[in-house]
Chain A
């Protein structure tokens, strides 16, 4: 974790951690050493809710190429969903 490269954004949603589902507050995306994935540097994505403690975390560690594919895939899914007039996002 020597790069100290980390981008953060507030998010709304739910994450499933070690103790089940919890509401998300933030996503932290770092380009640094992963804890588990087998390369020196990767894109580490932590969905967290700090107000519930550091253990409220859903972690994913991706290769840079995989992270780009994920970002593109999210954008593509959003485009299709937002283009469909039948779909309305609202809290049930």
Chain B
């Protein structure tokens, strides 16, 4: 916990890491100053893109003592304003799950390689990023904690599957290999409360270490203070639960 007599400093900058297939991708990296050792969090940005909001989330996690790293999951697709890039990606049906998995794993390996890492890394994502971090918790073995926020399309029908998203993420439930915190708004339409219930039931049936919280007055994206869907009390409580969970799982 921060108290006012403490020294505080963070460094935040764009770096390059080698993601899937060794491709060089831009990555926003914010970390506390000092020798550490620090735990780390990989952020999976939402489908609206690698935007200012995610830079702020990244710096917020660094402020709370994490090596926080947010790869540009659309770096290969195009460069431009985050909205223009995201619109182009949206038109192409998103990016492939395999590519995102490789990029998140590369970001995790990068931070774990640093001398000021404590050897533990979690992952956090919202919207499509929430879906991606759940997949990462199942398909990769590098994460020690998963924070899934209102992941859309975690449960997909056969008609929704595409070449880029060929498997419904909940098919991998049995493979989840890290504790998971899930935050959801009851007014959300994707995922619906019924889908959240199904997701939770499947995880419990598989004996997984999970903690789900639902916010009755919140819809989709209730952390997004730059949008009308922001819900203050739910967001404050959600951040508090997330930081408590990360502290417990990554210390």
Question: Which A positions have Cβ atoms within 8 angstroms of B?
Answer: 1-4, 6, 8, 26, 28, 30, 32-33, 35, 38-41, 44, 46, 48, 50, 53-55, 57, 59
Interface residues of B in 214-234 (CB under 8 A from A): 219-221, 227-229
Chain B interface: which size bin?
Answer: 20 to 34
Among A39, A48, A55, the residue within 8 A (CB) of B91 is A48
A91 smallest CB distance to B (angstroms): 27
Once A4-B153, A40-B229 are accepted as A-B contacts, the answer to whether A57 and B87 lie under 8 Å apart by CB is yes
B138 smallest CB distance to A (angstroms): 18
A55: chain B residues within 8 A (beta carbon): 80-81, 84
Closest to B94 in A: A4
A59 smallest CB distance to B (angstroms): 7
Q: Check B91–A30 contact: CB distance below 8 A.
A: yes
**Cross-chain pairs A/B with CB under 8 angstroms, 30 sampled:** A1-B86, A1-B94, A2-B47, A2-B131, A2-B152, A2-B153, A2-B220, A3-B152, A4-B90, A4-B162, A6-B90, A6-B91, A8-B91, A30-B91, A33-B48, A33-B127, A35-B48, A35-B83, A35-B87, A39-B228, A40-B188, A40-B220, A44-B87, A44-B90, A48-B88, A50-B88, A54-B84, A55-B80, A55-B84, A59-B87
Among A4, A40, A41, A46, the residue within 8 A (CB) of B165 is A4
Instruction: Describe B's contact surface by its main secondary structure.
Output: loop
Q: Check A2–B219 contact: CB distance below 8 A.
A: no
Among A1, A28, A53, the residue within 8 A (CB) of B80 is A53
Once A2-B128, A54-B78 are accepted as A-B contacts, the answer to whether A30 and B88 lie under 8 Å apart by CB is no
Among A8, A33, A44, the residue within 8 A (CB) of B220 is A33
Measured in the bound complex, the distance between the Cα atoms of B131 and A28 in whole Å is: 24
Residue of A30, A32, A54 most packed against chain B (CB within 10 A): A54
Measured in the bound complex, the distance between the Cα atoms of B165 and A72 in whole Å is: 34
Closest to A3 in B: B190
Residue of B84, B94, B165, B227 most packed against chain A (CB within 10 A): B84
Q: Check B47–A33 contact: CB distance below 8 A.
A: yes
Closest to B152 in A: A2
Measured in the bound complex, the distance between the Cα atoms of B46 and A1 in whole Å is: 8
Q: Check B85–A54 contact: CB distance below 8 A.
A: yes
